[in-house]
Amino acid sequence: MNDLTKYIDHTNLSPKATTADIEKLCSEAKRFGFAAVCVNGCYSALASKLLSGSNVRIATVIGFPLGAMTTDTKVFEAKNAVVNGADEIDMVINLGWLKSGKHHWVKTEIGAIKKGIGKKVLKVILETCYLTDQEKQIACKLAVEAGADYVKTSTGFGPAGATIEDVELMITAVQGKALVKASGGIRDKTTAWKYIDLGVKRIGTSSGPQLLKS
């Protein structure tokens, strides 16, 4: 169990999440020793305060969950999250731009966010359920070229989450130049270990404690 905990981003991105829910999330993350909590921007400062002095990192989502905001908006949101205590930024790519063939725009946006957050970790959410395999490969390549630290499968808000096939494709596409995070629909230990055995370095799940017991 202890080996699994270091991979888990304990997540609550519900639009109905209350301060009490975030307090519970952070308490569980400290108790189990999870890698990070993943929260919406309005809770970055609270999570930072609650986790002060612990080894649990704060990941904040940006352009979530659609990815269709302007680049300036995303950059501001990312910088603001860092000011409020975020150690890691999980951003959603602009899917419409990718599908329009505006690859330079996608890459430029990722690069602008990475530049804006400096040495903080940047994870790029592809939302794979909406992409063809070719588009997934292109998105991974653009993320790597823009300096992203991770590519991530899903927001958890699309019609499907992580799959073994997508993770294998992403690991091949990044060619060791970025790490991979699997998220969306991972609710048991067996599934989590399948992804880790493939080479995934983070697991995004809202079921962290339950997953450890499964």
Sorted by where each starts, the structural domains of the chain and their CATH numbers stand as 2-213 (3.20.20.70)
Q: Which of 9, 87, 90, 149 is catalytic?
A: 90
**Tens of pLDDT, residues 126-137:** 999 999 999 999
Residues 92, 94, 98, 102, CA torsion sign:
negative
CB 41 within 8 A of CB 61: yes
**Tens of pLDDT, residues 62-113:** 999 999 999 999 999 999 999 999 999 999 999 999 999 999 999 999 999 9
Q: Is 90 among the catalytic positions?
A: yes
Model pTM? 0.96
Q: Which of 87, 114, 152, 166 is catalytic?
A: 152
